[in-house]
Amino acid sequence: EKGGYEHFMLKEIFEQPKSILDSMRGRMIAENDHLMMAGVREFENKFQNADRIIIVACGTSWHAGLVAEYLFEDLARIPVEVEYASEFRYRNPIITEKDIVIAISQSGETADTLAALELAKSKGATIFGVCNVVGSSIARATDAGAYTHAGPEIGVASTKAFTAQVTVLTLIAMIIGKKRGTLETTKLRQLIAEMESIPSKVEKALQLNEQIIGISEVYKDATNFLYLGRGYNFPVALEGALKLKEISYIHAEGYPAAEMKHGPIALIDEQMPVVVIATKDSSYEKIVSNVQEVRARKGKVIAVVTEGDTTIPAMADHVIEIPETSEHLVPLLSVIPLQLLSYHIAVMRGCNVDQPRNLAKSVTVE
């Protein structure tokens, strides 16, 4: 059942080239920039005219929502708010009939997410679901939706569901961007072509496994970790930190790299591993200076960089190279080494990675 892998989590990490492909299969054709998703088509006019998109989710699904915020605003030029379902539902939020609420949930059973969308529904908003489990409560409560085709996720720590969510949300952002005329055809074609190359690039990123085992050996006894990223890699920093804390029980925090100097920089000393996701994108130059700030305080830098980069590698203690891609799609690649790092550290610490203490696969209580 684990397909020869020691744990479901590792199997699911390694399934990602396929699960990402399954989540986009039949939904796009590069030659004629064709994109199709039945659930989106049904509400195409609503999406086109939406004043705002509100995304509600919890945990890892909330991180996928943050990636979607960058995508929707950049490609489709619709304002987006990303809400923790548990906060949104209890604060008397302003919701109108022109809002589209997207609920993201792997299990489709998360109590707070379900309640948040029921609330939005009662105020007349259009409810769209991005769920993995077919026929789940959230999927049934929505007006329309798009399933992620990640297949069953057994490990409590979400891995392939996250990349499937990001894949589907990227396609939705492209469809709406095309419809609204905010995403020009040449750029759309490039993105679709790049999207098609993602499964093989994920495959390549998975070959980092051996190297990451080595890095895990070095830091397995650390008591704290900091994860930094900017732009599309900021949600990835949050996700990397969540993965590490939930399965290895090491305290970890994810931060937008520029926020470091507003507090967390005080934590940095020679004991502090800092994972910096610093791929070649529009914020690259900025993150180079953040890495310098960490170095100046003797922090240990584990850098995730784009293949061929020479600047960051000259400053980092460990360099993890991932294939180059469009910055819109980079989370699909940059999250892979972070999943592997948390997995190996947890295994080395003797933790039960598939069923971490105190956690359940679906949180059906509030």
Which residues form the catalytic set? 361
| Alpha-carbon distances, residue 62 vs 25, 65, 97, 131, 224 (angstroms) | 24, 5, 23, 13, 23
Binding region for ligand F6R (CB under 6 A) out of 53-61, 179-187, 332-340, 349-357 = 53-61
Which residue of 22, 246, 281, 309 would you call a contact of ligand F6R, by CB under 6 A? Answer: 246
Distance CA 308, CA 322 (A): 9
CA 224/CA 247 separation, integer angstroms: 14
Choose, by CB under 6 A, the member of 16, 158, 167, 325 that binds ligand F6R: 158
The window from 55-63, 196-204, 210-218, 252-260 that contacts ligand F6R (CB under 6 A) reads 55-63
Binding track over 57-96 against ligand F6R, x by CB under 6 A: -xxxx-----------------------------------
What CA–CA distance (Å, rounded) separates 213 from 211? 5
Among 16, 19, 105, 279, indicate the residue that binds ligand F6R (CB under 6 A). 105
By CB under 6 A, residue 170 contacts ligand F6R: no
CB of 155 or CB of 299, closer to ligand F6R: 155
Contacts of 50 (CB under 8 A, 6+ apart): 78, 98, 99, 100, 126
Cβ distance to ligand F6R smaller for residue 127 or 192: 127
Asked if 157 interacts with ligand F6R (CB under 6 A), we say yes
Q: Does 33 bind ligand F6R (CB under 6 A)?
A: no
| Cα gap 305→334, rounded to integer Å | 8
For residues 114 and 129, give the distance between their C-alpha atoms in angstroms, rounded to a whole number: 10
Smallest gap, in angstroms, from Cβ of residue 52 to ligand F6R? 22
8 A C-beta contact, residue 55 and residue 68: yes
Q: Which token pair is 338?
A: 């972070």
Which residues contact ligand F6R (rule: CB under 6 A)?
A: 58-61, 105-107, 110, 113, 156-158, 242, 246, 362-363
